[in-house]
Amino acid sequence: MRALAFLLLTALPCAAQDRIVSLGGSVSEIVAALGAEDRLIARDSTTLFPESLTALPDVGYVRALSPEGVLSVGPDMILAEDGAGPVEAVEALQQAGIPFVSIPEDPSPQGVLAKIRAVGEALDIDAEPLAAQVAAGFDRAATARADVTEPKKVLFILSAQGGRLMVGGEHTAAGAIIELAGGINAATGFDGYKPMTDEAILTAAPDVILMMDRGGDHGAANEVLFAQAALGASPAAKTDAVVRMDGLLLLGFGPRTPDAAIQLHDAIYGG
């Protein structure tokens, strides 16, 4: 289906591709970074940067889309990060007769560069200058990482609802950004974002807690976090080591990811 989408895209005249819906915050960032922001007519709710994009119509959360909502804005093309859903909605959009381009999602430096190039190909824009700029940023992050002699264990907490900690395990964007910053993911032995027991937290003994910088269950205050027995006994509690960062910057794996890695490195190691 992806190959068909690209075939459909190349079969259309360029002028017919000027009304684009972007589904996925990092995809939207790339479109803007490539200088094509004026071609966007709508976005999903995870598109928050650059801030100017938030003025566009919001067609819903990227993983809970309504085909009617997306199509109601009259797009000529839909750019969507892999993982957009639900499956039925994506299938309906793919069958709507509009080019639907799925952008690969891989939380790694190579994955970010591949994403940039895929968006550039879809928009018929030379993405190599942006890819080279981002690659240089990853090189800077690698230099900072190389100076770490005693890596710290970092636990990413997605939410702390009712004292139940949902954390980022292996093969997650959270785990990947921790490693890019020179840290060690304290949540091991499972994939994805899952609850972590008190016993597992005590064993993990994180040096730093990492969270998204937003309210509600995603942004519990330090005293609330460390009031929980397992976290209160951690090395992180002894130094009040909690790092909060913008969620899209931290986990989006887009053009700003090298900056996120360096910012997180500095927050962890006092750079």
Residue pLDDT, tens place only, 127-138: 999 999 999 999
Same structural domain, 191 and 95: no
Tell me the mean pLDDT in the region 157-180: 93
Q: How large a percentage of the chain has pLDDT more than 70?
A: 92
* pLDDT digit string, tens, across residues 211-269: 999 755 556 788 888 998 999 999 999 999 999 999 999 999 999 999 999 999 999 99
CB-based contacts of 176: which residues, under 8 Å, 6+ apart? 107, 108, 253
Q: Is-contact 270 47, C-beta < 8 A?
A: no
- Does the pLDDT at position 74 exceed 50? yes
Instruction: Show the domain range for 173.
Output: 149-269
- Indicate if 19 and 117 belong to the same structural domain: yes
Cα separation, 114 vs 67, whole angstroms? 27
Question: Does 117 share its domain with 198?
Answer: no
**Residue 150: CB atoms within 10 Å:** 6
- Confidence label for 33 from pLDDT (cuts 50, 70 and 90): very high
Helix intervals (H) in 124-221: 128-146, 173-180, 198-204
pLDDT tens digits, one per residue of 255-268 = 999 999 999 999 99
Residues 142-163 have a mean pLDDT of 93
Q: Does 138 reside within a domain?
A: no
CA atoms within 13 A on the CB side of 265: 24
Asked if residue 132 belongs to a domain, the reply is: no
Backbone angles phi, psi at 17, to 5 degrees: -110, 20
Q: Quote the pTM value.
A: 0.90
155 and 120 in a single domain? The answer is: no
Same domain, 66 and 153: no
Say whether both 119 and 172 belong to one domain: no
Distance, in Å, from the CA atom of 30 to the CA atom of 153, rounded to the nearest integer, reads 31
Task: Give pLDDT, residue 219.
Answer: 60
Distance CA 211, CA 231 (A): 14
Q: Do 162 and 53 lie in a common domain?
A: no
Shared domain check, 154 and 50: no
pLDDT score of 7 more than 50 = no
Let me know whether 58 and 156 are in one domain: no
**Structurally, how many domains does the chain consist of?**
2
Supply the pLDDT for residue 176.
98
CATH code, domain carrying 53: 3.40.50.1980
Residues 122 and 180 in one domain: no
Task: Indicate if 6 and 103 belong to the same structural domain.
Answer: yes
Same domain, 160 and 113: no
Q: Which of 126, 157, 184 is the last residue of a domain?
A: 126
